[in-house]
Structure 1
Amino acid sequence: MTTATSHTLVCTECGQLNRVPAGKALSQGKCGTCGVTLATKKPRDIDGATLSKLMAKDTGMYVLDLWAPWCGPCRMMAPSYAQTAEALGDQVRFFKLNTDENQQAAGRFNIRGIPTLIAFKDGKQAGIQSGAMQKPQLMSWAGQILGIPQG
């Protein structure tokens, strides 16, 4: 089995594709077009068009939070999701998709409840988890699903 020497990451600011060496800290990489950092030390809100591009072209690791503003458990989990993004932001990007504003995009996953987290790795869906979690559970889940060493 061979491992990728680089990953293609979609800049969620301008939509351009960026090649990043495998193992390089995301905070060290910036979009070659707009200069925005590729790391997400804070979760980034995305829309359906950006999600489609991520799913079609991106080969890095990222976690998508499907949520809605009226959802109590979603709001309760938001600080833990942000803390996890801060802790793992050099290795994994963290995105949020408002299911009220992006119903068609959210519908492609056939989810039954929110919040739902979906992890992607190497251009494929790697795992899905429904229900609110606190930071320790989020860290453990992301680590197991994406193969991130826990230290």
Structure 2
Amino acid sequence: MSETSSIHVVCPKCDAVNRIPGERKGSGQCGKCGAELFSGQPITLTDQNFARQIGRNDLPVLVDFWATWCGPCQMMAPVFEQLAGRQKTKLRVGKLETEQAPQTAARFGIRSIPTLILFRGGQEVARTSGAMPLQALESWLQQQGVR
């Protein structure tokens, strides 16, 4: 992407689509609600906002399909938060609680958790299951072309 091209970034709070000039990539506030667009925090995904967050972001989106009762999911949570902070200008990081969003979990055939799915342009491009340390997760993302 050239410095003059723009990208579309969906607000993590209100789901509004924002156009960010290339030279400002990694900074900015939502034009609708004023929230920070690159907060470095995982986005909460639901059945209602999933399609917009996945399909309208020009950044790749990594989704953690998890459940509150899942021990490995709880172990993975701090790793996922660290990843969100470290990769905030390159990658959107979202969490979808499978029991709160059963339609989306079923749509993607989630059978084990945690399951991580990487999306680009609204399409699934890679998937892995199980908890992993931050270094292994970043290595997996690099193998998928997220740099």
TM value normalised by structure 2: 0.88
- Superposed displacement of residue 144, structure 1: 2.3
**Structure 1 residues 130 and 24: CA distance shift in structure 2, 3 A:** farther
- Partner SS, residue 49 of structure 1: coil
Tell me the TM-score normalised to structure 1 length: 0.85
Unaligned runs of 5+ in 2: none
String of CA shifts for 1:41-90, please: whole Å, max 9, x gaps.
Answer: 12122211111212332222221110000001100111111111111112
Q: CA RMSD in A?
A: 1.9
Q: In structure 1, list runs of 5 or more residues that go unmatched.
A: none
Q: Which amino acid aligns with 1:21?
A: P
**Which residue of the partner structure matches residue 41 of structure 2?**
42
Q: Which residue of 1 aligns with 2:71?
A: 72
Aligned to 1:52: 51
* Partner-residue secondary structure (3-state), 1:79: helix
Which structure 1 residue ranges, 4+ long, deviate > 6 Å from structure 2?
Answer: none
Equivalent AA in structure 2 for residue 13 of structure 1: K
Alignment of 1:88-107 (within 5 A): 88-107=87-106
Residues 71 and 134 of structure 1, relative CA distance in 2, 3 Å threshold: same
Alignment of 1:1-151 (within 5 A): 5-22=5-22, 24-26=24-26, 28-148=27-147
